[in-house]
């Protein structure tokens, strides 16, 4: 083989390897995101028509934006942080999420549970997720002032403390855009109605998109 032919062959091999590397990087960037939502009635769509809750809207948004993903909504009406903790290991084992959205704690407050226990449960949930290489988005909540100033303040602070301790992304108050508008709640005054769902989505979406990217 002539020297000139050998040089041309070497260039072809080099370019082929370069293209293969580029293809692999592109393929890795398109790996499927597996999103697990672990929440209570707000994420389970309590009192709403089927498939109209904010989690369903998130599914539709990600599909429209051509994200490669699958989603599991493991939210249960009435769920507490303790209930979420009891289920998270099996959910991770079965679904193997890359991202977990945690929306729990409100029912703990409604039932007057000690905040120390709730905080420990949330810490355990997130630490289990991170130990299994899943990133976490924590959706914080607040409660009305009639629970007492100290309990109310400590409840809000709990989410901040958990987020800092676990280095997790936090949405400080998931109901931020609807909390003061009675028209965006169902007749019980607790659960967001159909009109509130897009607002809930927009409240958490920027933080989730950052994680997905």
161 annotated active-site: no
Reported confidence tier of residue 26, pLDDT bands at 50, 70, 90: very low
26 annotated active-site: no
Q: What is the pLDDT of residues 91-123, one digit of tens each?
A: 999 999 999 999 999 999 999 999 999 999 999
**pLDDT at position 88:** 98
Q: Check residue 172 and report its DSSP letter.
A: S
191 annotated active-site: yes
Chain centre to alpha carbon of residue 170: 10
Do residues 159 and 126 lie in contact, with contact meaning Cβ atoms separated by under 8 Å? no
Q: Which of 43, 86, 188, 207 is catalytic?
A: 188
CATH of 32-212, one of 2.60.120.10, 3.30.499.10, 3.40.50.1110, 3.90.470.10: 3.40.50.1110
- Domain residue ranges in the chain: 32-212
Determine the straight-line distance between the first and last CA of the chain, rounded to whole angstroms. Answer: 49
Q: Which of 41, 43, 75, 163 is catalytic?
A: 41
Q: Which of 4, 86, 191, 207 is catalytic?
A: 191
């Amino acid at each position: 083989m002539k020297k000139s032919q050998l040089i041309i062959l070497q260039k072809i091999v080099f370019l082929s390897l370069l293209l293969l590397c580029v293809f692999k990087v592109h393929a890795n960037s398109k790996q499927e995101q597996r999103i697990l939502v672990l929440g209570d009635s707000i994420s389970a769509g309590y009192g709403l028509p089927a498939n109209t809750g904010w989690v369903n809207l998130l599914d539709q948004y990600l599909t429209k934006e051509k994200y490669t993903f699958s989603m599991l909504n493991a939210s249960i009406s009435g769920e507490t942080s303790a209930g979420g903790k009891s289920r998270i290991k099996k959910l991770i084992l079965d679904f193997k999420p890359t991202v977990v959205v945690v929306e729990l704690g409100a029912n703990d407050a409604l039932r007057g549970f000690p905040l120390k226990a709730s905080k420990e449960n949330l810490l355990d949930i997130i630490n289990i997720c991170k130990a299994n290489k899943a990133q976490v988005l924590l959706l914080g909540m607040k409660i009305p002032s009639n629970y007492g100033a100290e309990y109310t303040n400590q409840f809000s602070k709990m989410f901040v403390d958990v987020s800092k301790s676990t280095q997790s992304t936090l949405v400080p108050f998931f109901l931020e855009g609807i909390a003061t508008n009675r028209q965006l709640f169902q007749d019980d005054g607790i659960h967001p109605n159909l009109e509130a769902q897009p607002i809930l989505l927009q409240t958490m979406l920027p933080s989730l998109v950052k994680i997905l990217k």
